[in-house]
Amino acid sequence: MTPSEVLRELLRPFTDSVLLIAIGVFGAALWLSLVIMQSGPLLAIFGLLIALIVLSTLFRYAVQVLECRAQGLRTPVVDIDAVSVLGNLWTLFPLLLVIAFAWSALYLNGTGNPGAAIALSVLLVLLLPASTGVLAITHSPLESIRPVAIYRLIERCGAGYIWIPTVVAALLLATAGMARAGAPLLLIVLLRTYVIILLFTFTGEVVRRSGVFGDVSVGAPQTGSESDYRDELTAGRRKVADHAYGFISRGNREGGFKHIRQSIAADPDPDAAVQWFFDEMLRWESKDAALFFGQECLAHFLHHDQKARALKLMSRCIHENPAWRPRVEDRQAAIELAEKYSRDDLLPSLRS
Using one digit for the tens of pLDDT, what is the confidence trace for 118-151?
Answer: 999 899 999 999 999 988 887 788 888 989 889 9
Mean of the per-residue pLDDT values of the chain: 86
Residues 217 and 152: beta-carbon distance below 8 Å: yes
Of all residues in the chain, the percent with pLDDT exceeding 70 is 92
Q: What is the pLDDT of residue 222?
A: 45
141-154 burial code (b ≥16 CB/10 A, e <16): bebbebeebbebbb
Pick the closest to residue 322 from 293, 348, 294, 289 (CA basis). Answer: 348
Whether residue 228 has pLDDT greater than 70: no
pLDDT at 112: 86
The mean pLDDT of 143-172, rounded to a whole number, is: 91
- Average of pLDDT values for 100-112? 89
- The count of other CB atoms within 10 Å of the CB of residue 63 is 24
Residue 286 has pLDDT above 90, yes or no: no
The pLDDT score that the predictor gives to residue 221 is 43
pLDDT beyond 80 at 178: yes
Contact between 273 and 267 (Cβ < 8 Å) = yes
